Structure 1
Amino acid sequence: MDEKSLSLWSTTKYHNHLKETEYDEIAREAAITIMINGEQYATIVCTPNDIRPLVLGFLASEGLIRSAEQVLKLTVDEDKGFAYAELSTWVEFAERTERWIGSCCGKSREFYLKQDVKTAKTIYSFIQFSAEQVYQLMADFDKKAEVYGRTGGVHQAALASAGGIITSAIDIGRHNALDKLYGHIMQNRISLKDKCILFSGRISSEVILKVSKIGAGLLIAKSAPTDLALKLADDLQITAVGFVREHKLNVYTHEKRVTGDPSHRDVRFSN
């Protein structure tokens, strides 16, 4: 069992009128308080693994750093639930109150628009993936979703090239999964020019903004988008692909990054 991601819980189960008790594997949840230059900045509710990449990705998403080198020192005390970051940059704490960032869906981050204006990027990459490559990447992505398969309680994000998945991250919070991925990219100085991001959840406006901050031009997701997400993706020149299931997918924006089999003719659907 993955001790950092999973725990066991005694569960009473009914099947019709039959009752039994089993131990279920449950996704773990913990609070990590981020201290910046000796002061408390935020508390994140997360899956307590890959904390260092999570903190790096979070700080970058917040616009506090632009590279891992700006973090002079990062110490994680998992037992006490603290991460201590010393930054080379000055952070404004005036008129701030303690923030608690939950793992639930929906807008949970403060300074949503202010921070996004500072950190969101228009993507100019010219990568192309075939529809067949997208299908295969999602199939490989599903195979890596072990913790989701065992608990049903986490999100997953992955970085991939046309050749396959490079790295993946899980968390109970969709933002945290993307931040962990972002932190890994920063730590390893991975170029995003020929990469895409795979995501297990729906495509919300916040997810598009996060992908923009990371710098990827192609987002491949299993679920549906929102209209605001697609407006943002169109504006930020991100290709949003949703409902990737078996050999079906929807390309909503900037379709030039996804190509079909040239031997197949176009079919136009109408109501």
Structure 2
Amino acid sequence: MLDKVAQRGEGRQRRAPLQAKTVIQRYHEGQWTVIEDSVANEFVLTIEVDRQEFATVVCTPDCLEDFVIGFLASEGVIRQASDVDNLEVSLYRGMAWVHLKEKFQMRPEVYRKRYITSCCGKSRQSFYFFNDAQTAHKIEDSTRLSAGDILNVMAKMDEESFLFKQTGGVHMAFLEIPGQCFIARSDIGRHNALDKVFGYLLRCGLSTIGARMAFSGRISSEVLLKVSKMGVGVVISHSAPTQLALDLARDLNITVIGFVRNSSFNVYTHDWRVQMS
């Protein structure tokens, strides 16, 4: 798969800037000054799958191959990177062309409609996309982590948040696989940042046993489902979870940890993974 991913050569257009400079008026402690500020760039990308327009998304224009692979996996179009026969990205045209090994047929009832269904055989009913119910799965990972581990992974994410420090306008997703590697991805869309991580995992064939996901935004139901599709049992955030996300986390056996700030945090679900002594 890695040798079948390409960018179409377009000279100077091959690398899109992640940020731009703009002149602003700044007010601080009673004084006005004119300064140059950095702002995050938005990039519109249309994804075609087997010559059918599948989606148009607004994203940060880096790691786009990872993003397309992760996005299609999240949507249930593919299960693994090897399902893709060829992928080309054009920054100049704002297009990603995907060709699958098995012909893709767009089915709106699968990719666009919400269904009320039970997930993972549980009695609780929640709103899912049909493809979410097919691809989200219960996490069997029995990893344990300490309070220090939780604080350290968030500190590492903050250290890697280079674009956020420059612009303040992006989200971060940071996956640590102890003893192997970490993956840090940023994007103006919080879901996009997760898809970039997912795509990298699939393209490199990495196992997520023992992994923990750090995230800059709130933990919504959609975020929780993306984490489950990656096979990650722990999600940690600076922000808060939603109730539906917690309902899903209980069903899917995912530990949710929120409000990680300074030296404190809250454990919302499956606290057995956190060492408390």
Would the TM-score normalized by the shorter structure come out above 0.5? yes
Amino acid at match of 1:4: P
What SS is found at the alignment partner of 2:253?
coil
CA shift for structure 1 position 95: 6.1
Aligned residue pair count: 248
The answer to whether 1:241 aligns with 2:254 is no
Separation in structure 1 between the aligned mates of residue 233 and residue 107 of structure 2, nearest angstrom? 35
CA shift for structure 1 position 188: 0.8
Counterpart among 18, 22, 29 of residue 9 in structure 1:
22
Amino acid at match of 2:86: K
Counterpart residue number, 1:208: 224
Q: Are the structure 2 counterparts of residues 227 and 86 from structure 1 closer, same or farther at C-alpha, using a change threshold of 3 Å?
A: same
Mapping for residues 132-211 of structure 1, pairs under 5 Å: 132-162=148-178, 166-211=182-227
Amino acid at match of 1:221: S
More off after superposition, 9-18 vs 61-70? 9-18
Counterpart among 82, 86, 95 of residue 69 in structure 1:
82
Q: Mark the runs of 5 or more structure 2 residues left unpaired by the alignment.
A: 1-14, 113-126
More off after superposition, 57-66 vs 20-29? 20-29
What SS is found at the alignment partner of 1:84?
strand
Counterpart among 102, 126, 139 of residue 123 in structure 1:
139
What SS is found at the alignment partner of 1:129?
coil
CA shift for structure 1 position 147: 1.2
Separation in structure 1 between the aligned mates of residue 269 and residue 172 of structure 2, nearest angstrom? 22
Counterpart residue number, 1:42: 55
More off after superposition, 111-120 vs 178-187? 111-120
8 Å contact kept, 1:129–1:162? no
8 Å contact kept, 2:47–2:56? yes
Separation in structure 2 between the aligned mates of residue 19 and residue 246 of structure 1, nearest angstrom? 32
8 Å contact kept, 2:185–2:196? yes
Separation in structure 1 between the aligned mates of residue 181 and residue 37 of structure 2, nearest angstrom? 29
Q: Are the structure 2 counterparts of residues 95 and 57 from structure 1 closer, same or farther at C-alpha, using a change threshold of 3 Å?
A: closer
Q: Are the structure 2 counterparts of residues 7 and 112 from structure 1 closer, same or farther at C-alpha, using a change threshold of 3 Å?
A: farther
Counterpart residue number, 2:124: none
8 Å contact kept, 2:17–2:41? yes
Separation in structure 2 between the aligned mates of residue 84 and residue 123 of structure 1, nearest angstrom? 32
The percent identity for this pair of structures is 42
Q: What is the TM-score with the length of structure 1 in the denominator?
A: 0.86
Q: Are the structure 2 counterparts of residues 191 and 94 from structure 1 closer, same or farther at C-alpha, using a change threshold of 3 Å?
A: closer
Q: Mark the runs of 5 or more structure 1 residues left unpaired by the alignment.
A: 100-110, 263-271
Counterpart among 29, 33, 54 of residue 67 in structure 2:
54
8 Å contact kept, 1:158–1:165? no
Separation in structure 2 between the aligned mates of residue 187 and residue 200 of structure 1, nearest angstrom? 24
Separation in structure 1 between the aligned mates of residue 107 and residue 67 of structure 2, nearest angstrom? 25
What SS is found at the alignment partner of 2:34?
strand
CA shift for structure 1 position 16: 5.3
CA shift for structure 1 position 165: 5.9
8 Å contact kept, 1:244–1:250? yes
Amino acid at match of 2:222: E
Q: Are the structure 2 counterparts of residues 180 and 65 from structure 1 closer, same or farther at C-alpha, using a change threshold of 3 Å?
A: same
The answer to whether 1:113 aligns with 2:113 is no
The answer to whether 1:22 aligns with 2:35 is yes
What SS is found at the alignment partner of 1:241?
strand
What SS is found at the alignment partner of 2:129?
helix
